[in-house]
Amino acid sequence: MAALTLDGVNKRYGDFHAVRDLSFQVEKGSICGFLGPNGAGKTSTLRMILGLQPATSGRIEILGADDGRKVRDRIGFLPEERGLYKKMTPVEAIAFFGALKGLPVAEGRKRAKTLLERQGLGEAQKKKMKELSKGMAQKVQLIASVVHQPEFVILDEPFSGLDPMNQQGLEAMIRGLAANGATVLFSTHVMQHAERLCDKVVLLARGKKAFEGTVDQAKATSPRFLDLDGAISADAAAALPGVAGVETLSDVDGVRRLKIALAPGAEGQDTLKTAFLNGLDVRGFTLKEPTLHDAFIGLTGDHPDQPVASVEAVR
């Protein structure tokens, strides 16, 4: 059953068409990654889903309602721009956000203490928000957005600015939310998180959907790769069987690392065998499965870590 459906959704800001004919669904109880470079239209879409801004056209249904505002108490939202009241303690801040969603303050405080302890933030309870590290503050903010136990959780770039340790902690929190039955939709331009967490990913590029499906389905759209080290020219590599494309990753006095994209269905064994038989100077090789990052670049032509504007400027 779908907890969220978008059907032909468009968003225009004046003449600028930010979201174009966007349709996708998120199944109840699943984790969906909403992927795209900065400026692709992710935040605009999330805000339309929440009912914080109207769609120019199209239909959005969330938890059976035609407007996110009608079910706002059943939704949790972590905005991209964060900031809890600096002078509050984490418990006060969490209880305050819960109260905004109709949770009695005493119950909010109780849940806040339990959730903070569970996240290893017991000590942080004594501090003010402004005294917490960024990682801790972000965890507190996520707790604040889910303390009312929402059925649907929307997180806008939840991993941004966190070190790897805190990113892992946040991943575990997101898994925990889904394990407790919540539906989670989070936006990110960091593919590794999506790769590890998501039942489904939706790729957005320049406001348009470039892909919707499982992580494995996304990866299957990308070729496998063979990294080849040696005094080998890109042309000689391109002439090998099963090669769809060659990129020179480095070149030190003619000793190169070549990234070879294999043709669909090619395993790389024949390519390597012929390289040896032809007497090419192979000094090392690695066969690589595609990552979600590779799939993203293949599907959109964009680099996920670069804003759309700068990608355009390069072309």
**Footprint on this chain of ligand ATP (rule: CB under 6 A):** 13, 16, 18, 36, 38-44, 80, 157
Q: Least CB distance from residue 53 to ligand ATP, whole Å?
A: 8
Q: Least CB distance from residue 39 to ligand ATP, whole Å?
A: 4
d(Cα 55, Cα 190) in Å, to the nearest integer? 26
Which one, 92 or 157, has the nearer CB to ligand ATP? 157
CB-side neighbour CA atoms (13 Å) of 118: 14
Q: In what order do the strands lie in the sheet with 31-35?
A: 75-78, 152-156, 183-188, 31-35, 200-205, 208-213
> Is 225 in contact with 266 (CB distance < 8 Å)?
no
Q: Provide the 10 A C-beta neighbour count for residue 105.
A: 12
Which one, 42 or 101, has the nearer CB to ligand ATP? 42
> Is 283 in contact with 228 (CB distance < 8 Å)?
no
Q: Least CB distance from residue 115 to ligand ATP, whole Å?
A: 27
d(Cα 37, Cα 187) in Å, to the nearest integer? 10
Q: Least CB distance from residue 293 to ligand ATP, whole Å?
A: 17
Which one, 34 or 152, has the nearer CB to ligand ATP? 34
Those residues whose C-beta lies under 8 Å from the C-beta of residue 216, and which sit 6 or more positions away, are none
Which one, 168 or 306, has the nearer CB to ligand ATP? 306
Q: Least CB distance from residue 44 to ligand ATP, whole Å?
A: 3
Which one, 97 or 186, has the nearer CB to ligand ATP? 186
Q: Least CB distance from residue 243 to ligand ATP, whole Å?
A: 35
Alpha-carbon radius of gyration of the chain: 23
Which one, 19 or 232, has the nearer CB to ligand ATP? 19
Which one, 42 or 200, has the nearer CB to ligand ATP? 42
d(Cα 299, Cα 230) in Å, to the nearest integer? 30
Backbone angles phi, psi at 83, to 5 degrees: 160, 105
Q: Least CB distance from residue 307 to ligand ATP, whole Å?
A: 7
What are the angstrom distances between the C-alpha of 30 and each of 4, 70, 142, 144, 292?
Answer: 11, 22, 18, 21, 19
